Amino acid sequence: MSQSQQLFDRARRLLPGGVNSPVRAFKAVGGTPPFIASASGCTLTDVDGREYLDYIGSWGPMIAGHAHPEVTSAIEAAARRGTSFGAPGPLEVELAEEIVHRVPSVDMVRMVNSGTEATMSAVRLARAATRREVVIKFAGCYHGHADSFLIQAGSGVATLGLPDSPGVTAGAARDTRVARYNDLDSVAAIFDREGSQVAAVIVEPVAGNMGVVPPRTGFLEGLRALCDRHGALLIFDEVMTGFRVHPAGAQGLYSLRPDLSTFGKVIGGGLPVGAYGGRTDLMTLIAPSGPVYQAGTLSGNPLAMAAGLATLKLLDEAAYARLETVSAALEAGLLDACRQAGVPAVVQRVGSMLTLFFHAGPVHNMDDASQADHPRFARFFAALLEQGVHLPPSGYEAWFVSLAHDETVVEHTLAAARKALEAGR
């Protein structure tokens, strides 16, 4: 029995499902998850000594690659100065300055400890600022596990076949409305019925939790116009896309300004982190400047701030060009491999995040994503894992490319993909 299997057996007696986040349990793809002992660059090494090329990247934060020497050095230096102060420190100011410098829509930012905390706080702020209660979200978009978001919530919930979550009260769900991603008419219909009650629209500007689904032309612009017309706020959830798809996030890529934005993943360089920010008039409603309360014992943690700063400093123009080149080669190669094998498929990519859908046409929303051939993806996943390529263990997830991936890594991945597709025809 492998050490991973032994650990998984132990873990299932101690942790729900044997994991601390559901998708790690391999429910959608079957088998035993490898337990990772270490990681470097784009390579994971499990407790049995097997190595894997990694396309999870800790679900997005590791854009520079695992254990990048500049990031680890920054963390080590910060740790020697103390791991938490419970008081202000210089690094949180420096990271805030970096975010504000890069993102034109953000005048002020509040550091928190997770993407869930960031989105939850942003919605609370939007409700306070507008004195309204209704929030519009989109089927298949995931904004963390706060109660009001666990309604048609995308990847993790969809992977497990859970349409909603027990424990979410009717009261918590009452003020959430669900629209169809890439369908402006579905949003307009909600505004037509109750526009005077809508506090905010929250959206992943590039959906990453039904697989990667880009916005159709005019969709984000239409959301901006609807919010402006009805006095609602527009919130971009850039926890996944922030500083990954563009130096200023998806809002920089599409030249749009939301009222509030949420961030995570990349700004922590692999350590727990989140942030939300926006215009000064909105952010000064947050305590202690204003009446909207939000606090956190470890917010602005110096280790996370150091890791995030070091990561952002690596993301210059050349870095984004490199990510684009490697990601485009992976996209083209996967499409070609599927064509050669006669397997209907589409690869949807924005920058260095992508998803291979076993689906004949484009995927524009959660309904389309659910029609993809997920059993085929499970077989494909298992075949690649056997060949040392670790994909996200669900067809509803994004793959992530890092600066540590290169042409040789991509070619190895494509060779494994071709072999898997030929065997699975």
Tens of pLDDT, residue by residue over 240-297, are 999 999 999 999 999 999 999 999 999 999 999 999 999 999 999 999 999 999 999 9
DSSP state of 42: T
Q: What is the mean pLDDT of residues 163-189?
A: 84
Angstrom distance (rounded) from CA 128 to CA 421:
52
Tens of pLDDT, residue by residue over 75-115, are 999 999 999 999 999 999 999 999 999 999 999 999 999 99
Strand runs (DSSP E) across 28-175, as ranges?
Answer: 36-40, 43-46, 51-54, 108-112, 134-138
373: left (phi over 0), alpha (psi -120 to 50) or beta: beta
Check whether 374 has a pLDDT greater than 70.
Answer: yes
Angstrom distance (rounded) from CA 51 to CA 27:
22
The chain-wide mean pLDDT, for the chain, equals 94
Q: Looking at 237, 259, 276, 396, which residue is catalytic?
A: 237
Percent of the chain at pLDDT > 70 equals 96
Strand runs (DSSP E) across 265-303, as ranges?
Answer: 274-278
CA atoms within 13 A of residue 372's CA, in its CB half-sphere = 31
| Residue 164 confidence (pLDDT) | 61
Q: Are 301 and 378 a contacting pair, CB within 8 Å?
A: no
For residue 237, indicate whether it is catalytic: yes
Check whether 354 has a pLDDT greater than 50.
Answer: yes
For residue 27, indicate whether it is catalytic: no
Check whether 161 has a pLDDT greater than 90.
Answer: no
DSSP assignments along 134-202, one per residue: EEEEETT----S-GGG-BS--HHHHHTT-SB-TT--HHHHHTEEEE-TT-HHHHHHHHHHHGGGEEEEE
CATH among 3.20.20.70, 3.30.390.10, 3.30.365.10, 3.40.640.10 for 69-314: 3.40.640.10
Q: Looking at 142, 181, 254, 396, which residue is catalytic?
A: 142
Q: Which fold has domain 3-63+316-423?
A: Aspartate Aminotransferase, domain 1 (3.90.1150)
| Residue 152 confidence (pLDDT) | 58
Q: Say which residue the tokens 């680890």 belong to.
A: 72
Q: Looking at 183, 265, 276, 368, which residue is catalytic?
A: 265
Q: Which of 195, 151, 152 is nearest to 174 (CA)?
A: 151
Angstrom distance (rounded) from CA 334 to CA 328:
10
Listed by start position, the domains of the chain span: 3-63+316-423, 69-314
Check whether 158 has a pLDDT greater than 90.
Answer: no
CA atoms within 13 A of residue 383's CA, in its CB half-sphere = 19
